[in-house]
């Protein structure tokens, strides 16, 4: 069996993080109250997504430089799981917004921009499906992947800060920094990011192996 330790670590961290998120003492803040526990599910999803999509872009660049088909497979699988994380991030955000803002979707800049990001990455998958030749597909989708990442960063991190947003951390709302200082949240939050990202990598490694077997069966 190849390296098993990080999978065990992943399960252990996630068990700790989920239990900790639900049971540990959380600081009391106006408006947020108990919904602050969503930090460990919602925000960690976006952190995980950024890490995975960054890796996807890095593999796209490596594919362009080397032309190695393996990098292309990594790139698309990282993007796939990144998209899954983004969908989960949107859903957990909507559940939270239902309590904090009174409705699941209120057209907040941050919600809109993440929906646009999702559209861009779905377009990436559509683009991949519409090209038949392997090399051509790898090259062109790698180029679009880099373009998509270049659009992702301003959409998620720059543009929401330029407009009024109700989202914590934007427009003067108590945000990440206000409760990040609280060590009771920090001891769960940071491990949770690592745990979810490891889970994503685990899923990716399974999918990559599945593809390899499929390819071997075709050949």
Using CB under 8 A as the criterion, which residues of the chain lie in contact with another protein when the complex forms? 64, 116-117, 119-120, 123, 126-127, 130-132, 135-136, 139-140, 142-144, 146-148, 150-151, 154-155, 159, 162
Q: Which is nearer to another protein, 27 or 154 (CB)?
A: 154
- 84 or 146: whose CB is closer to another protein? 146
**Closer to another protein at the Cβ: 53 or 193?**
53
Q: How far is it, in rounded angstroms, from Cα 88 to Cα 196?
A: 12
Cβ–Cβ < 8 Å for 59, 78? yes
For residue 64, the minimal CB distance to another protein (Å) is: 5
Nearest CB to another protein, comparing residues 80 and 145: 145
Nearest of 92, 81, 82 to residue 37 by alpha carbon: 92
The owner of tokens 């392997």 is: 134
DSSP letter assigned to residue 167? S
Inter-residue contact 44 to 21 (CB < 8 Å): no
- The nearest distance, CB 48 to another protein, in angstroms, is 22
Q: How many whole angstroms separate alpha carbon 24 and alpha carbon 18?
A: 10
Of residues 94 and 127, the one with the C-beta less far from another protein: 127
Tell the smallest beta-carbon distance from residue 117 to another protein (Å): 8
Q: How far is the CB of 166 from another protein (least distance, A)?
A: 18
- Measured from the CB atom, the residue of 58 and 151 that comes closer to another protein is 151
User: Distances in Å between the alpha carbon of 12 and those of 7, 105, 192, 203?
Assistant: 9, 34, 11, 16
Q: Is-contact 105 94, C-beta < 8 A?
A: yes
Q: How far is the CB of 67 from another protein (least distance, A)?
A: 10
Q: CA angle, 103 as apex, 153 and 43 as ends, to 5°? A: 35
Q: How far is the CB of 135 from another protein (least distance, A)?
A: 7
User: CB count, 10 Å around CB of 165?
Assistant: 20
């Amino acid at each position: 069996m190849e390296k098993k330790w990080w999978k065990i670590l992943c399960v252990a961290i996630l068990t700790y993080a989920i239990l900790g998120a639900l049971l540990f003492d959380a600081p009391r803040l106006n408006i947020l109250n108990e919904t602050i526990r969503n930090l460990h599910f919602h925000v960690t999803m976006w952190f995980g997504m950024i890490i995975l999509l960054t890796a996807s872009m890095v593999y796209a660049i490596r594919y362009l430089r080397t032309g190695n088909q393996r990098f292309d497979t990594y790139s698309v699988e990282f993007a796939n799981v990144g998209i899954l994380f983004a969908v989960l991030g949107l859903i957990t955000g909507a559940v939270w917004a239902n309590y904090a803002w009174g409705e699941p979707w209120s057209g907040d800049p941050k919600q809109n921009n993440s929906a646009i990001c999702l559209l861009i990455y779905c377009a990436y998958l559509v683009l991949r499906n519409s090209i038949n030749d392997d090399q051509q597909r790898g090259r062109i989708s790698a180029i679009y992947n880099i373009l998509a990442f270049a659009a992702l960063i301003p959409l998620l991190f720059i543009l929401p800060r330029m407009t009024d947003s109700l989202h914590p951390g934007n427009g003067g709302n108590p945000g990440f920094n206000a409760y990040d200082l609280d060590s009771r949240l920090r001891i769960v939050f940071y491990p949770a990011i690592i745990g979810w990202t490891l889970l994503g990598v685990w899923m990716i490694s399974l999918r990559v192996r599945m593809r390899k077997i499929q390819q071997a069966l075709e050949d």
